Amino acid sequence: MRVSWQSLYEEINNCQKCDLCRQIHNKVPGQGDVHAKLMFIGEGPGADEDMQGLAFVGKAGQLLTKMISAMGMTRDDVYICNVVKCRPPQNRVPDAAEAAACLPYLRQQVALVKPKVIVLLGSTAAKTLIREDFRITRERGMWIEKKGVWFMPTYHPAALLRDESKKRDAWNDLKRVMAKLKELEANENGGSESV
Ligand code: URA
């Protein structure tokens, strides 16, 4: 059953399905255009996100904002969220059980937004949504289509801050995302003209 945004956010805010919720200041459900064609999925909130209850507002988030703007969009044009909605202590990677506990919320977000394209930021998002043994360094930049949604796995902005040499590959991945969005839009327009 498809839930409403209100009930989904309430469920997330009341969630105690794993221990991550015990040490946080705020849940971080995600934010942006709830009808966006493009969605970004990261790993989990860091300290800034935990304090503000908003996804990608710290240093990595500022870089993500620049990346979105280089794509000719603003953060208000896209939907941004994470695999887990609670900050893991010391920013550790969420474990498989934590990611699995939170996955139904992410699936509901995808079902509600109905994006055409999803950018998976980093290994945790790719492992959770594509395959457990997904290798971001080897397999990023390749399209994966599932049930009509196109997934583009790329580097996490935090990885780009740690290693600037990865930026060129990440930008190429985002250029492919822009091209795909154009292509899908052209197909949609072409389709409606012929009806
Ligand atoms: N890193 C993430 O994966 N998500 C955030 O919201 C912030 C940093």
- Residue minimizing CA distance to atom 7 of ligand 1: 56
Q: Which atom of ligand 1 is nearest to the CA of 55?
A: 6
**Interval between CA 156 and ligand 1 midpoint (Å):** 9
As a whole number of angstroms, the distance between CA 155 and CA 165 comes to 11
Q: What is the pLDDT of residues 145-157, one digit of tens each?
A: 999 999 999 999 9
Pull the structure tokens for residue 3.
């839930």
Instruction: Determine phi and psi for 144, rounding to 5 degrees.
Output: -130, 125
Residues of the chain with pLDDT under 50: 194-195
Pull the structure tokens for residue 91.
């920013």
The residue whose CB lies within 8 Å of the most ligand 1 atoms, and thus the one to mutate among 41, 43, 80, 160, is 43
- Give the pLDDT of residue 193: 53
Helix (H, G, I), strand (E, B) or coil at 183: helix
- Give the pLDDT of residue 195: 46
Q: Is 88 in the pocket of ligand 1 (CB under 6 A)?
A: no
Residue type, 45: P
Q: Which atom of ligand 1 is nearest to the CA of 43?
A: 3
Backbone Cα Rg of the chain: 16
Q: Is 46 in the pocket of ligand 1 (CB under 6 A)?
A: yes
- Give the pLDDT of residue 107: 98
**Which domains occur in the chain, in start order?**
7-182 (3.40.470.10)
- Give the pLDDT of residue 159: 98
Half-sphere exposure of 33 (CA within 13 A, CB side): 14
Pull the structure tokens for residue 179.
């091209």
**Interval between CA 167 and ligand 1 midpoint (Å):** 17
Contact indicator for 94, 46 with CB cutoff of 8 Å: no
Rounded to a whole number of angstroms, the distance between the first and last alpha carbons of the chain is 31
Q: Is 43 in the pocket of ligand 1 (CB under 6 A)?
A: yes
Pull the structure tokens for residue 65.
């904002």
**CA nearest neighbour of 50 among 24, 81, 11:** 24
- Give the pLDDT of residue 61: 98
**Interval between CA 136 and ligand 1 midpoint (Å):** 17
Q: Is 32 in the pocket of ligand 1 (CB under 6 A)?
A: no
Contact indicator for 101, 86 with CB cutoff of 8 Å: no
